[in-house]
Amino acid sequence: MKRIGILTAGGDCPGLNAVIRVVGKAAHQGGLEVVGVEDGYLGLCEGRMRVLGPEDLSGILTRGGTILGSNNKTDPAACRVREGDRVVVKDLRDEIVARCRDMGIEVMVVIGGDGTMAGAASLCQRGLPIVGVPKTIDNDLWSTDITFGHDTAVTTAAEALDKVHDTASAHHRVLVVELMGRHAGWIALSAGVASGADVILIPEIPFRMEAVAEKCLQRNAHGKRFTVISVGEGAIPVGGQEFVDRVDPDSPDPIRLGGVGRFVAQEVERLTGLEARSIVLGHVQRGGTPTPRDRMLATEFGHHAFELLQAGQWNRLVVQREGRTGSVPIEEVAGKVRTVPVDHPLIRAARGIGTSFGD
């Protein structure tokens, strides 16, 4: 082998540069050339690539973002391409495979999430050997117990909860922090337990506003005149439609205008008379210097990807299960979400000390 490629696709995630660094450095040590693709599949479609030298890989271990750029909208099977005046949607997979072959790229390391891996699998089938490295701050990727970036996101989220905790206790308020996690509640659960949130609401456990309100009142009655609520953005009340209706009945897109965090704060005020505030932490969770743990995990995953690549074990995705790093066929992860089991030890522990899940 002489030349390998590498690309990052999907939403931003701390640790991407750590993976690029270890794959690139290991390749250089092994006498291989490394080609970095810009902006995920978009750059692959458009042929924007550059050779990465040692100086490109230096000093990036601690940096958030990705030196290659990313893009979370492109499917190689349905690329939006400009043709003259018009934008047309085209299947560029054969073209991509041919271009990589022309450039001498023998294997492509693809770092991305669920959607990215679906695209990778389809490129594999057409002849571009691929090794996948899983990436999601949400930690909801099927087949791996943990992914890099998640620990950093949880840390950012827990620090925000710690901070509003001060304010909530000083002002006797209910403070709701809406965290990322559309399909799975890992961030809201982890940060909530880490920060001692009084109520944790996650997509896996539909909540009743009455139970949430009761918890706030009950704390008040016990002299704890504040409540901190950690809520995943995908959490929904029992009877979801009611939620949509209440947020803003006249709006064409009520959830976007409000979000579940705001809904919970408004409903707490309505049901209890207590003062409530909400914040949406948003993209802050995707950035920042990765935690040491995420840098280690990204380094381990990236190196395992390189070992697979050297061993000719293509079309596989690096995973960690039961504490061991290994791999599974890329196809295995498509279209599945790893949600939080409702009897997860952290949920049991939180319930054990009186934390409410709104059910």
229 binds a copy of itself (CB under 8 A): no
195 binds a copy of itself (CB under 8 A): yes
Among positions 3, 33, 48, 64, the unique one binding a copy of itself when judged by CB under 8 A: 64
249 binds a copy of itself (CB under 8 A): no
The answer to whether residue 138 is catalytic is yes
Residue count, binding to a copy of itself (CB under 8 A): 86
User: Quick one: which segment of 7-15, 90-98, 263-271, 329-337 binds a copy of itself (CB under 8 A)?
Assistant: 7-15
Among positions 3, 33, 48, 65, the unique one binding a copy of itself when judged by CB under 8 A: 65
| Residues 115/10, Cβ–Cβ less than 8 Å | yes
246 binds a copy of itself (CB under 8 A): no
Residue 39 or residue 114: which is nearer to a copy of itself going by CB?
39
280 binds a copy of itself (CB under 8 A): yes
328 binds a copy of itself (CB under 8 A): no
Q: What one-letter code names the amino acid at 17?
A: N
305 binds a copy of itself (CB under 8 A): no
Cα angle, residue 157 at apex, residues 151 and 163 outer, rounded to 5°: 135
Within 36-55, the residues that bind a copy of itself by CB under 8 A are: 39
171 binds a copy of itself (CB under 8 A): yes
Q: Can you tell me the distance from the alpha carbon of 111 to that of 70, in angstroms, rounded to the nearest whole number?
A: 10
Of these residues, 12, 39, 138, 140, which one is catalytic? 138
218 binds a copy of itself (CB under 8 A): no
CB proximity list for 153: less than 8 A, separation 6 or greater: 14, 137, 138, 180, 187, 285, 286
Q: Can you tell me the distance from the alpha carbon of 228 to that of 162, in angstroms, rounded to the nearest whole number?
A: 9
Q: What one-letter code names the amino acid at 159?
A: E
Find, among 115, 149, 110, 128, the residue nearest to 318 by Cα: 110
Find, among 179, 184, 134, the residue nearest to 13 by Cα: 134
Backbone φ and ψ for 312, nearest 5 degrees, come out as 70, 20
**Catalytic center residues:** 138
